[in-house]
Amino acid sequence: MTRHDPYPSRTGGRAQMLPRKDPVVCSTRSSEGPLSPSGIEAFERDGFLVIDGFFDPAETRSLQQEASRLPETLADSRAPEVIFEPGGGAVRSVFAIHRSSTTFAKLVTTSRLVEAVMQILGSEVYVHQSRINYKPAFRGREFYWHSDFETWHVEDGMPRMRAVSVSLNLRENSAHNGPLMLVPGSHKHYISCEGHTPERNYEKSLREQVCGVPEMSILEDLVERGGIVAPLGPPGSVVLFDCNTMHGSNGNITPWPRSNVFLVYNSVENALEAPYSGQQPRPEYIASRDFTPIPAGA
């Protein structure tokens, strides 16, 4: 029997803007948790929430030191978790950092972080994905506009929009060094993309995404409706954003590198199924299939 796909994409049809079928805030007790009512309201309205100074200077320094160590130790690595810039030798991303680093393993269990995500998702959560994105000075490449959920649905089998990403600034995110950009309100629309998914698409898409990017006319429509926001801020700031929020970042041609930790928490009630592309699941370091609830730490 053919499985019903609530969010079809890359099926050979034309690109479409479809209405979201899932709530943004799933909890019926969203007033209980570290996020204020105004914060919950902003997240539901915009698809993201910016929190300055979420981590104190001492906590941030420890994370910075660990993040700086990784590219030096992995520069000659052939591990699939290490992604290099297209056409160059600089490290672009390192995946599954909470599995290879005790520092980042502790980070993902930070109680106020886990509780904030649970306050939005209304359930226990597990780590779907963790990574550091680096934007080296002068040569850091862009991350083109995309909705994470479109990829996670098609290539990983995430059934519904019930996941939250956390972007943690490890370095200053300025207007010049390729900061994260988001389109407010875009999470209320599902953008179905054209084409089909190539086999083992992740081997290319993590370096430079081509498949699963929205059509330009649809991007123009989304931006006309909501604009573009680039949450700038010092190290230690975080952005919580819905899995379906359209986002991307420009390249970095400045002398100032940028780096961010990305943690993706998925509801345990939204565990991955078979990919909707009909292909084999992506590797565990990209999309975890260990759905054990993550305990909140100290």
Q: Model's pTM, two decimal places?
A: 0.94
> Pick from 148, 165, 141: which is nearest to 92 by CA?
141
Q: What is the pLDDT of residue 205?
A: 76
User: Under a CB-based contact definition with an 8 Å cutoff, are residues 88 and 139 in contact?
Assistant: yes
Tell me the average confidence (pLDDT) per consecutive run of 10 residues in the chain, 298 residues long.
86 92 86 90 97 95 92 73 78 90 94 95 96 89 91 96 97 92 98 90 76 91 97 95 96 92 97 95 95 79
| 243: amino acid identity, one letter | C
Q: What is the pLDDT of residue 269?
A: 97
> Would you tell me how many other CB atoms lie within 10 Å of the CB of residue 261?
23
Q: What is the pLDDT of residue 213?
A: 87
- Domain regions of the chain by residue span: 37-75+94-270
Domain 37-75+94-270 has CATH 2.60.120.620: yes
